[in-house]
Amino acid sequence: MCSLLDWLKLVQLHNSDLRGLHPSCGVATAIHNAPSSRQLPHVERNIVSGDSLAERIASRCGYALADIRPDYGELTYDGNKKHVLTMSMPPIEGPAKHRKLVMSEHEQLIAGALEKLAVLSPSHLVLYSGSPLLAQKRQLSEYDPDFDFSSEDGDPVFHANAVAAVADGGIFQRYQLLTPALIISLLVVFVILIPVLVLGITALASIQSPLRSEAPSGYSAHEKKVQ
């Protein structure tokens, strides 16, 4: 077995977050150069959480369990024991552009941890685990002081900050009204539909009725006046 088992737990991690990493980054290089790798993009919701599974592995195999922070310093461990190391990252949320930025920051921390792990134990196993946000109450409480995981129904509760309950500024600063879909719809209306409508109205206005503009054949206004 491996002398070290490193468990990297990323909250709200999507499969696309790993695919979006730059091919030359540390994590992508480590995965590509690994002797073997296995990917499980979808698992059941009732599967054991990362913390519980790490504890079970450490208990069953007699490993020492240690939880390390993303910004930890030098890693030291007892060479006479095997270890299970767990590192939990802050949640990854928001649109794709923001997620990519957050994931790039996570990647630097993870790459640094992998380098230290490789120095301590060349033979090791690394598990990248994504977990749903609702299962990470304790972790969120560390990163968000407004998070409360003591609700009776088991659901996470966020308490708004009383000082910054309402954002300053107008409605456009509080809410995102001009979404990309709305902007595209407005462009289609103003660029395509309105010119077509104006052209149709102009064409209809230019059509004249023959009964009003042309006299019937054989009709003479002078003869009718004489009669």
Cα-based torsion angle of the residue sequence 201, 205, 207, 209 in order, rounded to the nearest 10 degrees: 130
Please give the angle made by the CA atoms of 70, 76 and 81, to the nearest 5 degrees.
115
What sign has the CA pseudo-torsion 190, 196, 201, 206?
A: positive
pLDDT confidence of residue 100: 83
Q: What is the mean pLDDT of residues 104-121?
A: 81
Give the phi and the psi of residue 77 in degrees, each rounded to 5: -155, 165
What average pLDDT does the structure give for the chain?
68
pLDDT of residue 54 exceeding 60: yes
- Using pLDDT thresholds of 50, 70 and 90, give the confidence band for residue 8: low
> Quick one: which of 71, 77, 72 has its CA closest to 58?
77
Domain edges within the chain: 4-131, 136-165, 169-210
pLDDT tens for 23-51 read 888 888 888 888 888 777 666 666 666 66
Query: What stretch of H or E contains 9?
Result: strand 4-11
What sign has the CA pseudo-torsion 158, 163, 166, 169?
A: negative
pLDDT of residue 89 exceeding 80: no
pLDDT of residue 86 exceeding 60: yes
pLDDT confidence of residue 101: 85
Highest mean pLDDT among 1-5, 24-28, 131-135, 218-222: 24-28
- Using pLDDT thresholds of 50, 70 and 90, give the confidence band for residue 216: low
> Quick one: which of 51, 37, 42, 25 has its CA closest to 110?
25
pLDDT confidence of residue 220: 59
pTM exceeds 0.75, yes or no: no
Q: What is the mean pLDDT of residues 174-199?
A: 80
Q: Are 113 and 62 in contact (CB under 8 A)?
A: no
Distance between CA atoms of residues 22 and 4, nearest Å? 27
pLDDT tens for 122-177 read 788 887 777 665 544 444 444 444 434 344 444 443 333 433 344 455 555 555 66
Secondary structure letter of residue 169 according to DSSP: S
Complete DSSP assignment for 107-148: HHHHHHHHHHHHHH-SSEEEEEEEE-GGG-HHHHHHH-TTEE
Residue 50 CB partners (closer than 8 Å, separation 6+): 7, 9, 86, 129, 131
Highest mean pLDDT among 84-93, 173-182, 190-199: 190-199
